[in-house]
Chain A
Amino acid sequence: MTHVPTGSPSSGYHRYHIPTKPAPDIEKWPSRFKVKVRRTGLAKLLLSEIVHYRGRKDVILSRPCMYGVFSGPVGGFMPREEHCVGCLRCTTEFPEFVRIEHNPERQKLGDSYFTFNYVDQIAYEASSGLVPVRGAGYRGKFGGEGWDGMWTDMSEIVRPTRDGIHGRETISTVVDIGYTPNFLQFDAAGQPVGNTPHYLSIQLPILFDGGDLPRDGHIARMYACAAAELDTLAVLPFEQALGLGQYAHAIVPVVRAEHAQQLGQLGFTPRMVEMHGWDDGLYAAIIAAFPQAIIALRTGFGDAPALVGYAQRGVKVFHLVADYHGRSADGRFVLDLIRDAHKAFVDAGIREEVTLLGSGGMIAAEHMPKAMICGLDAVAVDTPPLVALQARFEGECASRTASRFSLPAGLNEAWGVQRLKNLAASWRDQLLEILGAMGLREVRRLRGEMGRAMFMKTLEADAFAGLLGYSEAANG
């Protein structure tokens, strides 16, 4: 199956581009900082400066803040803390009566996994569509567990394009989903026989995973519309896919056993269908109803050898799902789970024949290339698009069935679609940064390239083994 990009003439060249435009927050987030000013101290300062500078207004009114925190009608008496960027100039100049603190309300955003720093990042990406750029180097922990214990490689001399993401040449982010045989066979007439490729291509290794969406038709429509405009896919529950036929080529309905007799109600032929857990009858029904569709199995990461078994029964696309914190039922983290699944197919000699999609715990742009290096073909993002739409977590949101998110009032479709497109654009550009640093021209080459990964435990063992107090058993 050859896919023609949306909106492009089949004979013409189509340069992929995501149009971004600002889509500011519709619900105010708590400010990053709290600004506390002791008013008596400020009043005394003003009086002394009025006397000293003899009424030279510009000098007296020159205050330390460049960001407008103290430039309201009554200046520092009512600081506008929403403007504060935490530069600390004011508290440096006036330690006696100005105090800047982190806002605890801001730090409550998200949950224990999707912390407020990630929320901040997503909010910026979704509102601007830009790559977050800041100065002053890295501020965080040295390494850590999970994604934080992994670095990606780079090349000192090779870059795939002369001017990388900003320039004229392209780095491809197209991925193929479906089946490709390890080799082709031809008959005496030169015609292919046996299994032939059956796949679709999307322009991004990012799908919107709404397979466990709260029952809100608005969100499903936004996902579908954004996916259609981005030339990717939105995974939606069967019930929510109904009535979205205008986005047919972008919708992947998730069907369960109880839907086997209702597939005809969909009203369109999807390019891909996700089967929620293996069911013989459902599998047969999907093949009967949508013979051209690619069938994916949506299942937990858990049992890697079992996945190979399903592949031998005909399934060639697997959408592996961890909880929202990236854990499987037995508590293992998604990074290791992906590697296990990938390796199971490599060991079986059929990795090139199958596609692995993954969801759960991938909540930042950097997690996408890391997940692909570990073995995914593409990432199906779940909670990040919700946060892009300014959904707030209600308590801990790890469980796919029990988690609760509240959506902002005034959510409208045009805004939501733009936020999702902005998020995708920002993540794609960040992926290009990583690919460019490595010298890779296309994202497909990233899949399973473990030589491009560096893990903290390995590096630390190489660097520190033999030091007094270092135990490889404890640290490695």
Chain B
Amino acid sequence: MASIAGKTDEQLIVEKHIANFHRGFAYWPRAEEAPPALGDSRWTQDLILATWLMAETGKPPDNGLEYKIGASGGGFDVLDFNIPSEDKWLPADTEIDLSIPLNRRDDGAQLKIDLPMYGGGMSYGSISEHVMQARARAAQQLGTFTSTGEGGYPPSLVPYKDHIITQVATGMFGVREETIQYAPIVEFKYAQGAKPGLGGHLLGDKATDVVAAMRESVPWVSLFSPFPFHSVYSVEDHRKHVDWIRTTNPRALVSVKVSTPTDVDMVAVGSYFAGAHIVHLDGSYGGTGAAPEIAKKNIAMPIEFAIPKVHKYLVSENVREEVTLMASGGVRTAYDVAKAIALGADGCVMGTAELIAIGCTRCSNCERGRGCPFGLTTTDPLLQQLMPADWGQQRIVNMYTAYAAQLRDLLRKLGLHSIRELRGRRDLLKYVG
């Protein structure tokens, strides 16, 4: 236990609980038995504990935890790689390149990321400023990006602005000229997969004074980003939005985040023709701070089905090499990332996995103002101190380091030198359902 000299009660309370958390996060992945009430079909006990272990060590688990698949009985969980015999593997010391370009067009900055992953949008208010800082610092360290979500751009993030995507959604909460000018990538959010077609929603008791100030709104009232953009009814309308961003920040790449209706392939190609550099598909099984239960399973298709549909259509339209396709919404592991890429994505956008790395147990209480007892999805002044940004940064970096090791190992076994070679290689997958 830490010294108590000269410390306030609040400091001691925070220190006490942080110390206990860290002990628990280290204890459980190594315990003989998992916490009985932990986990669900998608994020099993093993997946959560394995993520905690990777976040601690930076390495894949070696103690028998199942860290590759969940128990959902479909999608990524019924796919595996068809690994050739060992004599076809690349030598262990082969350099494997995990980087991907984000701009495949001949306009704008030629950005690339060192991992085929970046962090998804989580708004200030839905998560704490500490969590935003941890994610931004980790993105900087890893040579990738994270996204503000739609909820403002806390000044503490400005030092990491070259690694932060600014999101623009219909509420325009906290979107200002300078936040667009900061951004190397501006993301238009048309829909989010966890609640497709419903818009963003921050419940009233999460709209605290500081959140309301950031969003230029009123405290303690629910805030909606109504779906969809009501000024957009065509590709041409969308093109005008893109032009607006490009006028404000000519060097920014444009990403368009859409969910996965039947005609997602048409939407993707429309986004391309409107000028998008990145089409970000968000499937229906991902996480969000608050979503009507009815939306989670029942609206729009899972990402596993949307990726090949869009990939094939972009190929048939002869524009596949002109656009980067990122996938999210239920992508949990390094193996999910690899499967998504083999199905046709260029890379993945991660959300829930990062939160689990920093202590989320997926208890599903994050819609409440003080619902997150680990200080992640809250701006409560006391609770948010429970997740220090430097600790969170290291945990996220460690998790991605473990993911990178798994991806390199997998690619080597598949005989591929680069993650870019994996894109659309359905022949390397097998169905094990």
A residues near B, CB below 8 A? 33, 48, 52-54, 56, 58-59, 62, 64-66, 85-89, 91-95, 99-102, 121, 131-144, 148, 150-159, 162-164, 166-167, 365-366, 370, 430, 433-434, 436-439, 451, 454, 456, 459-460, 462-464, 466-470, 475
Contacts and interface: CB of A to CB of B under 8 A. Distances in A.
Given A87-B373, A100-B35, A462 B365 contact: no
A156 B37 contact: no
A132 B74 contact: no
Given A135-B288, A154-B197, A156-B261, A88 B37 contact: yes
A63 to B, nearest CB: 9
A65 B20 CA distance: 13
B74 A91 contact: no
B9 A59 contact: yes
Contacts of B298: 150-152, 366, 370, 434
B232 to A, nearest CB: 6
B243 interface: no
Given A155-B197, A164-B227, A64 B293 contact: no
Nearest to A475: B433
B361 A135 contact: no
6 contacts: A135-B366, A136-B365, A139-B42, A151-B301, A156-B267, A434-B294
Contacts of B201: 133
Interface of B: 1, 4, 9, 12-13, 16-17, 20-21, 23-25, 27-28, 31, 35-38, 40-43, 72-75, 77-79, 82, 190-191, 194, 196-199, 201, 203, 224, 226-230, 232-234, 258-259, 261-264, 267, 284-302, 304-305, 307-309, 330, 343, 352, 359-367, 370-374, 377, 383, 426-427, 429-433
A157 B228 contact: yes
A135 B73 CA distance: 22
Given A102-B37, A135-B371, A141-B72, A58 B13 contact: yes
B4 A140 contact: no
A150 B292 CA distance: 18
B90 to A, nearest CB: 22
B292 A132 contact: yes
Contacts of B433: 470, 475
Contact of B20 (A94, A132, A138, A470): A94
A93 B24 contact: yes
A242 to B, nearest CB: 38
Main secondary structure of the interface of B (DSSP, over half): loop
Contacts of A56: 4, 9, 12
A92 B27 CA distance: 9
Nearest to B75: A142
Given A133-B203, A135-B287, A159-B197, A53 B293 contact: no
The 6 closest A-B pairs by CB, nearest first: A437-B197, A142-B74, A135-B366, A137-B287, A154-B197, A93-B20
A152 B194 contact: no
Contacts of B427: 468
Given A151-B298, A154-B299, A437-B197, A141 B293 contact: no
Contacts, number: 282
Nearest to A471: B431
B364 to A, nearest CB: 4
B233 A158 contact: yes
Contacts of A136: 287, 352, 360, 362-366
A471 to B, nearest CB: 8
Q: Which of A89, A433, A460, A468 is packed against the most chain B CB atoms within 10 Å?
A: A89
A52 B1 contact: yes
B429 A467 contact: yes
Given A135-B291, A434-B294, A93 B197 contact: no
A288 B431 CA distance: 63
B202 to A, nearest CB: 11
Contact of A133 (B284, B290, B309, B359): B290
Given A132-B293, A133-B203, A163-B226, 11 more contacts: A95-B35, A135-B287, A137-B194, A139-B41, A140-B72, A153-B262, A156-B264, A433-B294, A438-B197, A459-B302, A468-B82
Contacts of B24: 91-95
A361 B123 CA distance: 39
Contact of B198 (A134, A156, A436): A436
Contacts of B291: 133-135, 137
A433 B361 contact: no
Contacts of A92: 20-21, 24-25, 28, 35, 359, 361, 374
B246 to A, nearest CB: 21
A155 B16 contact: no
Contacts of A88: 35, 37-38, 361, 363
Contacts of A437: 196-198, 227, 295, 299-300
A182 to B, nearest CB: 29
Contacts of B229: 157
Contacts of A463: 304-305, 307-309, 343
B27 A159 contact: no
A87 B363 contact: yes
A305 to B, nearest CB: 31
B294 A131 contact: yes
Contacts of B226: 159, 162-164, 167
A468 B429 contact: yes
Contact of B191 (A85, A139, A154): A154
Contacts of B365: 85, 87, 134-136
Nearest to B226: A163
A154 B193 CA distance: 11
A141 to B, nearest CB: 5
A470 B203 CA distance: 43
Contacts of A467: 79, 426, 429-431
Contact of A139 (B43, B234, B259): B43
A456 B20 contact: no
Given A56-B4, A95-B31, A164-B227, A135 B261 contact: no
A120 B293 CA distance: 12
A445 to B, nearest CB: 16
Nearest to B366: A135
Contacts of B362: 136, 139
Contacts of A151: 284, 297-301
B233 A434 contact: no
Given A64-B17, A156-B261, A135 B37 contact: no
B373 A138 contact: no
B42 A138 contact: yes
A138 B296 contact: yes
Query: Which of A65, A94, A150, A152 has the largest number of chain B CB atoms within 10 A?
Result: A152
Contact of B12 (A53, A154, A163, A436): A53
